């Protein structure tokens, strides 16, 4: 008996350093931050990465589309996504949180809107805008080779069923899906140069509002029922006869394993909280001032040094 006790004690002593070590490694495991394909999200990801690094965590960035990010988070390949927008991602986000596949790491104070948008000069050829009904009369103004005789609506690769809205509101438009934010701005810039009518997806907060005068189209006000109940709204037969939410939320998402660790990094993620102005500024550093994402993140932190305190839990500083 005495012998067995000694063996157990010895084994324990031998294992102890490994146990302690494993615990430390667990604390400072590499954090995989998911980056999407529009500017503010990438800059905010890098700001978040800098804050994690400040606490001693190794950080990696994992580029992903918004549709692939849910799988990456639920399988623990990605740990963090810092910009989940209500207008384009509420459906998947709410479902994944409800099913316990990902964790809601809390909201930013920023409010958001994602919607069809046009530069102000379009109002000359489409009187009645921003009321969506004006589009019924002027769709041919937005004709391109791709959509003729219908108008083209340029969208990004995010999860919004524009085709369903076009069908429900009986609009003569075809959706041209572009690959990322940069392609949208190329279309806007080219059209604006020769004042050609153009209508495209845009959002706020964004840098665009600081450079181009324009407006969102006002569709019928959003209500959740609009997306699930066909009899809701103007069209009794189809869902999606409404616009996207105004004053929408912006949230952070985490993987279960990241949240379960309850580490300094997860608690920091919960504290991270950007305002509209901070997000628009972060995007403008790249899209107006032409910095790299990394340079923009560093410049942003330099201009907002208090975040290294405010967004780091006291016991982790």
The residues of the shown chain that bind ligand TMO, judged by CB under 6 A, are: 38, 85, 88, 114, 156, 158, 203
> Which residues, in sequence order, are bridge partners of residue 119?
214
Smallest separation, CB 221 to ligand TMO (Å): 19
Between residues 52 and 207, which has the closer beta carbon with respect to ligand TMO? 207
Smallest separation, CB 158 to ligand TMO (Å): 5
Where are any strands of DSSP class E within the chain?
31-35, 59-63, 80-85, 102-107, 113-119, 151-155, 173-177, 200-204, 214-216, 250-255
Between residues 118 and 266, which has the closer beta carbon with respect to ligand TMO? 118
Smallest separation, CB 236 to ligand TMO (Å): 29
Between residues 138 and 272, which has the closer beta carbon with respect to ligand TMO? 272
Smallest separation, CB 113 to ligand TMO (Å): 9
Between residues 117 and 311, which has the closer beta carbon with respect to ligand TMO? 117
Please check whether residue 34 is in contact with residue 75, taking contact to mean a CB–CB distance below 8 angstroms. no
Q: Burial, 78: exposed, middle or buried (Cβ in 10 Å; 0-12, 13-18, 19+)?
A: buried
Give the DSSP letter string of 40-62.
Answer: HHHHHHHHHHHHHHHTT--EEEE
Peptide bond into 209 cis (omega under 30): no
How far lies 244's CA from each of 65, 160, 182, in Å? 20, 9, 22
Between residues 71 and 128, which has the closer beta carbon with respect to ligand TMO? 71
Smallest separation, CB 41 to ligand TMO (Å): 7
């Amino acid at each position: 008996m005495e012998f067995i006790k000694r063996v157990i004690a010895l084994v324990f002593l031998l294992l102890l350093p490994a146990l302690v070590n494993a615990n430390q490694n667990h604390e400072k495991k590499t954090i995989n931050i998911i980056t999407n394909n529009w500017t503010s999200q990438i800059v905010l990801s890098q700001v978040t990465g800098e804050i994690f690094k400040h606490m001693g965590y190794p950080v990696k960035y994992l580029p992903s589309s918004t549709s692939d990010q849910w799988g990456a988070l639920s399988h623990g390949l990605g740990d963090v996504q810092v910009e989940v927008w209500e207008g384009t991602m509420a459906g998947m986000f709410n479902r994944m949180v409800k099913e316990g596949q990902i964790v809601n790491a809390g909201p930013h104070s920023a409010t958001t809107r994602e919607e069809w948008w046009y530069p102000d000069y379009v109002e000359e050829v489409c009187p009645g805008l921003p009321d969506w009904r004006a589009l019924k009369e002027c769709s041919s103004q937005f004709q391109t080779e791709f959509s003729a005789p219908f108008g083209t609506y340029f969208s990004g690769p995010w999860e919004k069923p524009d085709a369903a809205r076009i069908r429900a509101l009986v609009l003569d438009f075809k959706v041209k899906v572009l690959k990322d934010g940069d392609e949208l701005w190329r279309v806007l810039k080219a059209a604006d140069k020769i004042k050609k009518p153009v209508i495209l997806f845009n959002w706020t907060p964004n840098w665009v509002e600081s450079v181009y005068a324009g407006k969102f189209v006002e569709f019928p006000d959003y209500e959740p029922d609009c997306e699930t109940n066909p009899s809701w709204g103007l069209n009794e037969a189809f869902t999606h006869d409404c616009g996207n939410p105004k004053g929408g939320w912006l949230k952070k998402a985490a993987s279960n394993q990241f949240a379960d660790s309850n580490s300094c990094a997860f608690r920091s993620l919960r504290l991270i909280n950007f305002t509209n102005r901070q997000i628009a500024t972060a995007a403008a550093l790249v899209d107006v001032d032409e910095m790299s994402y990394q340079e923009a993140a560093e410049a942003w932190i330099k201009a907002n040094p208090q975040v290294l305190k405010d967004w780091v839990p006291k016991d982790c500083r």
